Amino acid sequence: MRGTKEMGFLRRLSAVLDEEKRAAAKRTEICGLAVENCGAGAFDAVVDLSRLPIGERASVVSLDGLNAAEKRRMLGMGLAVGTMVEALYKSPSGDPTAYFIRGTVLALRLGDAKKIWIRHNNDNA
């Protein structure tokens, strides 16, 4: 029989894992596309903009994670579906990140970047 401390830990761990599963399912529903992890060789994966490595390019496939006001702000800055985005550099603290979008450098916070869905491109020239 397990001790009460161990059982409490296992219950908390189970709750955290359940929450992660729900969050992953929600991201898939928001995007409406197959979402995969962006790792080495995962060039056709649909991921959020925050996962775009520095120096890499991608095209925006969805802004569905944004609310109406955020979406208007992004569209006003030229960030629309089909737009090419390149991650240029991150601040020393890691937030915000600078992106090259339609001839302009924009800094986006991590929270905003996680709501923008991209398809990583194979051609990084």
Q: Which DSSP string do the residues of 47-62 spell out, in sequence order?
A: EEGGGPPTT-EEEEEE
3-60 pLDDT tens trace: 676 667 777 767 776 776 666 655 554 444 544 444 444 445 788 888 889 999 999 9
**CATH H-level, domain 46-120: superfamily:** Ferrous iron transport protein A (FeoA) (2.30.30.90)
CA 84/CA 61 separation, integer angstroms: 10
Give the residue among 97, 91, 64, 93 at the shortest CA–CA distance from 80. Answer: 64
Spans of all domains in the chain: 1-31, 46-120
Question: What DSSP element (H or E) covers 106?
Answer: strand 104-108
What's residue 97's pLDDT? Answer: 92
Arithmetic mean of pLDDT over the chain? 77
What's residue 66's pLDDT? Answer: 82
What's residue 43's pLDDT? Answer: 45
Give the residue among 86, 83, 79 at the shortest CA–CA distance from 125. Answer: 86
Q: What are phi and psi of 86, to 5 degrees?
A: -125, 130
Amino acid at 49: L
What's residue 59's pLDDT? Answer: 92
